[in-house]
Structure 1
Amino acid sequence: MLFSDVCKVFKDIEDTSKRTEKIQHFIKLIKMAEKENSPASLRKICYLSIGRVYPEYENRELGIGPNMLIEAIKSIGIKEKDLLEGIKETGDIGIAIEKLSSQIKQASLFQKPLTLDDVYDTLKKVGEIEGESSQKKKIRHISNLFLRATPLERRYIARIILEDMRIGMNIPTILSAFSKYFGIPKEKLERIYAVVNDIGLIGEKLLMGVDIDKDEDLKLKLFRPIRPMLAQIAPSIKDAIEEIGTPQFETKYDGARVQIHRSGDKVKIYTRKLEDITNSLPEIVEEIKKLDKDNFIMEGECVAIDLNTGRPRPFQDILRRIRRKYNIDKMKDEINLRVYLFDTLYYKEPLLDVPLKERREILEDILSEDNDWEKKREKIEREIKSDKKIDISYKLVTEDVKKAEEFYRWSLNIGHEGVMIKNLKAVYTPGSRVRTMYKFKPTLESLDVVITKAKIGMGKRKDWYGSFEIAVKDEDGNLHPIGHVGSGLSEEELDRLSKKIESIKIEEIGDEVVVKPEIVLEVSYEEIQESDKYNCGYALRFPRVVRIREDRPPEDINTLEDVKRIFQIQKGRKKVTDKN
């Protein structure tokens, strides 16, 4: 398959703003792979269309930044000065290189045309180059691609390398195309994707014609992390009980969500961003290895604990441990961690379709503990200050509102966030915000949002980006701005954010830059208001950054539906206040 043919369809996708038309154009790519009887080609197209080379769960990068890319582009006769001017004019290195390529003599006219395999395999090889002279080798491989490429091909090669395709394709849109072409409900494909986190694998398997309900590669596997199930916001404990019936209450911990996989002596720990943090948490690994049971995937919350009080330490302490690459033993002595486990997703076989009640029983069997608050409250309170590295979440099964509220207050009193409220009959739905699990906290729920634009600050902040446009997503993954935030960040955090923004900016508009939606912030606010300032119809009043959520992927930010739900909860609370 010629890469030029793929690029023509990429351009068709880019040239329309209508999602239905993007889906139809992507179906052309499916048909092209089908015509060549090449499921592997569809796999590669899926990755490249979203600016990737590797599956999402691998968390691997090509290791080529803008400066290295510019060096490679210079080798085809384009001057750096002209390229930088072109980027400034267009805000896009892809269009800049395409325009400049059209103005110079094309060596590519005398080269063998690039195939899809040429481009994908070269980029994959580039990502695997390490060691001495790796930078020179990477530049050489990229230069060779550019030498053989047409101007349009260069547009997309440059964008793929920077992981910024700008054609408006994302995972939900590709899944919609698969659903339409292969006649499979999108909900089923979404569930499979949340398990495998590999859009290319799904495309390849669909074109192969496998039974997607039985194919082992599309099922939960050890050491291939899945996206976590997410909770809805409960207006009150009473409302949640009325919704669920007899729920299981658990203490809500303010930590980092982790997924622990074990087979024999092999243990891996992943974050909710699917990052492997095993090496950063050696004491947790050792404790997991001591368990009698084997072949499991457990889910929990990693919390930094002050052993003098038994109370959680600031969230930033957890991030310091997770991000640590060197001197881990020293940091381990400074910051004590404990993982509160609350679910089992795999035990000798996948458990996603097993009700929570049974999954919890399996977890209690693996850990030889249940931490039933009603029966073991004294024991739990004695052990709060212990140096336990792993524990099971504190639970209470009840439909008694007063008893549940007592457990909620107790959880707050020992320093935790609130409670989780779970339906014991519910299966595990990875990657979804479900109506079978709720969270309840004492304050109006904060929002996880993503930065879409940044603006240079004023006064003391003139050397940094000081104001950020923030957005939530809709059900199709499209982003909707909901406000601007600047307060709540320290100078150190502003400096760190500004450096990150410089590395992901994609367009400059005066003193404002458009960025790749990668940075997740947790923000609080006075209230959510109806507003015509933003297309979504809502705006945050007095938003403030609670923290930078380096542990959360952009895919897990709050949705527009969440905003609407919080708005309704807020209206209900206002009515109660007004009556009083």
Structure 2
Amino acid sequence: MLLAEVVATVSEVAATRSRLAKIDALAGLLARLEPREIAIAVGFLTASPRQGRLGVGWRGVFGVEVEHADAASLTIAEVDAALDELAAAGGPGSAGVRETRLRSLAAAATEPEWDFLARVILGELRTGALEGALLEAIARAAGRPAATVRRAAMLSGDLGETAVVALTGTEEELDEVGLRVGRPVLPMLAGTAASVADAVAQAGESSVEYKLDGARIQVHRHGDDVRVFTRNLTDITHRVPEIVAVVRGLPAADVILDGETLALDEDGGPRAFQDTMARFGADAERDLVLRPWFFDILHADGRDLVDEPLRVRRAELERIAGEHVIPGILTADASEAEEFSRAALAAGHEGVVVKAIDAPYAAGRRGSAWIKVKPVLTYDLVVLAVEWGSGRRTGMLSNLHLGARDPETGEFVMVGKTFKGLTDELLRWQTDYFPQMETRRTSYAVHVEPTTVVEIAIDGVQRSPRYPGGIALRFARVKRYRPDKTAAEADTIQTLQALLR
């Protein structure tokens, strides 16, 4: 299949709000694929190439300057082979090899194809809840029950593999896809609520647990073989020997555990999220010790537990993980849950997760069985530039560059970007308004006078060398514009820096 067919389908999906139309387009594409192309195409559609990390960053991709092909001729198999070469490049001279291969690939691609491939390589393909629609499309193209396909994808942790089995295998083979110790599964996800009381009202009797500002981990043990995976299922076993040692000491020969890890400071409080994430790096210092806290168990000594209620799983978790179980209480009392939430915040954690005690483990799903509650912080920041959108937002000004005020210099310090929270009405308004404030323009953004104040909700900040202030916003989203405020009333960089522990 030509890459152009995939690109056209993604454009079609991005251009419509209709979930049914998205599923129809994707199912049609999947039905036309050869068996050997299925996993490749699914990797492209989810911006998760089957090769994993390719060793190419934003600068490497967008630094490529070539004349693109006039007509589409690249097949997805040819692109996959090129990505194999990128992933295999290593050692002295590897940067030059990658640059040469990228240039060759870019020259063989048309301009729309290269724009698509750049976003796939960087993992930044945004097509409007595509992965959920893709599961439905796989089921439709294969003529299989959507629930069966969804469960196979959750338990295998590999959407491409699931698509191959669904589209080329038998019904029995798809039904047999299940948990396997050593193979990571998609993690269960939490919804959100404005308050602990709201969360308890939704969940009923609940396990109310600390929400750590750490990194999600999934740990598999088979005998002495322990594997540790990140939230996105990357194997980091060799980087976390202290976690491996803890799990080897647990009273279970075969087990799959879900949890979080973070580092503690000298006083026993949680260190910054960035410290934990830096510890996962390939060249990280090993003197920072990570401690695991487990909040769920999926398998124990030959027994799959994902369909058991949390009440049963929690008892088994406490038996096996002991002191490494995350702090929590069992309650249906909103005031008791609120008091526990205040204790979590006082201990330096993000908040709590309220979990329905009778719910099964829904791998890969986000729903009302798990509900996270944490304080929402809002700040008034200034718009410094706005990037042009892509997909359904093509032709509209979308991604905001945000700045905090530096009272010492009178300038504005960039602290992040966001396109989250923008309605169609706001997008149209931005596109009309910001060119009137333009100071200069690049191929991808309009830079504007720093006079427009916007209220931004964040979950916090983290250290970042990308921006001059040394911090970056976490999970920033637009609440509203503040025409009633001047830029002189915007929050300061010092206020945001003070959020760092």
TM-score, normalised to structure 2's length? 0.69
Q: 1:283 aligns with which of 242, 250, 255?
A: 242
Distance 1:179 1:483 in 2: 43
Q: 1:435 aligns with which of 368, 377, 380?
A: 368
Counterpart in the other structure of 2:189: 229
What is the identity, as a one-letter code, of the residue corresponding to 1:283?
E
What is the identity, as a one-letter code, of the residue corresponding to 2:29?
L
> What secondary structure does 1:248 align onto?
strand
Counterpart in the other structure of 1:171: 131
What is the identity, as a one-letter code, of the residue corresponding to 1:393?
I
Counterpart in the other structure of 1:345: 298
Classify 1:11/1:498 alpha carbon distance in 2 versus 1 (closer, same or farther; 3 Å). Answer: farther
Counterpart in the other structure of 1:325: 283
- Asked if the contact 2:204–2:332 (Cα under 8 Å) also holds between the matched residues in 1, the reply is yes
What is the identity, as a one-letter code, of the residue corresponding to 1:126?
L
Question: C-alpha deviations, 1:103-127, integer Å up to 9, x for none?
Answer: xxx9x9xxxx644322222222322
Alpha-carbon offset, residue 217 of structure 1:
4.4
Counterpart in the other structure of 2:401: 454
Question: C-alpha deviations, 1:432-479, integer Å up to 9, x for none?
Answer: 3332334455xx4459xxx943257776586853463351599xxxxx
- Asked if the contact 1:355–1:425 (Cα under 8 Å) also holds between the matched residues in 2, the reply is yes
Question: C-alpha deviations, 1:142-169, integer Å up to 9, x for none?
Answer: 4554565567655655554455567778
Classify 1:69/1:302 alpha carbon distance in 2 versus 1 (closer, same or farther; 3 Å). Answer: closer
> What secondary structure does 1:53 align onto?
coil
Distance 1:67 1:137 in 2: 12
Classify 1:484/1:241 alpha carbon distance in 2 versus 1 (closer, same or farther; 3 Å). Answer: closer
Alpha-carbon offset, residue 500 of structure 1:
12
Counterpart in the other structure of 2:426: none
Uncovered stretches (5+) of structure 2, i.e. residues with no partner: 379-397, 424-429, 431-452, 484-489
Alpha-carbon offset, residue 343 of structure 1:
1.2
Q: 1:126 aligns with which of 86, 90, 111?
A: 86
Alpha-carbon offset, residue 428 of structure 1:
0.8
Alpha-carbon offset, residue 344 of structure 1:
0.6
What is the identity, as a one-letter code, of the residue corresponding to 1:255?
G
Classify 1:280/1:485 alpha carbon distance in 2 versus 1 (closer, same or farther; 3 Å). Answer: farther
What is the identity, as a one-letter code, of the residue corresponding to 2:50?
Y
- Asked if the contact 1:303–1:312 (Cα under 8 Å) also holds between the matched residues in 2, the reply is yes
What is the identity, as a one-letter code, of the residue corresponding to 1:433?
R
Question: C-alpha deviations, 1:168-225, integer Å up to 9, x for none?
Answer: 7831332343344445565654454444443322322221143378544454552424
Q: 1:258 aligns with which of 192, 217, 228?
A: 217
> What secondary structure does 1:224 align onto?
coil
Classify 1:391/1:150 alpha carbon distance in 2 versus 1 (closer, same or farther; 3 Å). Answer: closer
Counterpart in the other structure of 2:414: 465
- Write out aligned runs for 1:306-325 (5 A): 306=265, 308=267, 310-323=268-281, 325=283
Alpha-carbon offset, residue 427 of structure 1:
0.3
Q: 1:63 aligns with which of 56, 61, 70?
A: 56
- Asked if the contact 1:311–1:415 (Cα under 8 Å) also holds between the matched residues in 2, the reply is yes
Counterpart in the other structure of 2:390: none
- Asked if the contact 2:220–2:257 (Cα under 8 Å) also holds between the matched residues in 1, the reply is yes
Classify 1:499/1:174 alpha carbon distance in 2 versus 1 (closer, same or farther; 3 Å). Answer: farther
- Asked if the contact 1:521–1:545 (Cα under 8 Å) also holds between the matched residues in 2, the reply is no
Distance 1:298 1:162 in 2: 30
1:198 equivalent in alignment to 2:158: yes
What is the identity, as a one-letter code, of the residue corresponding to 1:366?
I
> What secondary structure does 2:29 align onto?
helix
Alpha-carbon offset, residue 298 of structure 1:
1.1
- Write out aligned runs for 1:372-411 (5 A): 391-399=324-332, 407=340, 411=344
Alpha-carbon offset, residue 425 of structure 1:
1.5
Classify 1:339/1:213 alpha carbon distance in 2 versus 1 (closer, same or farther; 3 Å). Answer: same
- Write out aligned runs for 1:142-157 (5 A): 142-145=102-105, 156-157=116-117
> What secondary structure does 2:85 align onto?
helix
Counterpart in the other structure of 2:311: 357
Distance 1:427 1:210 in 2: 27
Identity of aligned residues (%): 26
Distance 1:486 1:236 in 2: 19
Alpha-carbon offset, residue 297 of structure 1:
1.5
> What secondary structure does 2:28 align onto?
helix
- Write out aligned runs for 1:206-245 (5 A): 206-211=166-171, 214-217=174-177, 219=179, 221-233=181-193, 235-237=195-197, 243-245=202-204
Counterpart in the other structure of 1:85: none
Classify 1:296/1:25 alpha carbon distance in 2 versus 1 (closer, same or farther; 3 Å). Answer: same
- Kindly tell me the number of residue pairs found equivalent between the two proteins: 442
Rg larger in 1 or in 2? 1
- Asked if the contact 1:468–1:484 (Cα under 8 Å) also holds between the matched residues in 2, the reply is no
Counterpart in the other structure of 2:233: 274
Classify 1:140/1:499 alpha carbon distance in 2 versus 1 (closer, same or farther; 3 Å). Answer: farther
Distance 1:433 1:486 in 2: 21
Counterpart in the other structure of 1:424: 357
Question: C-alpha deviations, 1:59-102, integer Å up to 9, x for none?
Answer: x235265546755x54xxx4xxxxxxxxxxxxxxxxxx3xxx44
Distance 1:10 1:224 in 2: 28
> What secondary structure does 1:471 align onto?
coil
TM-score, normalised to structure 1's length? 0.61
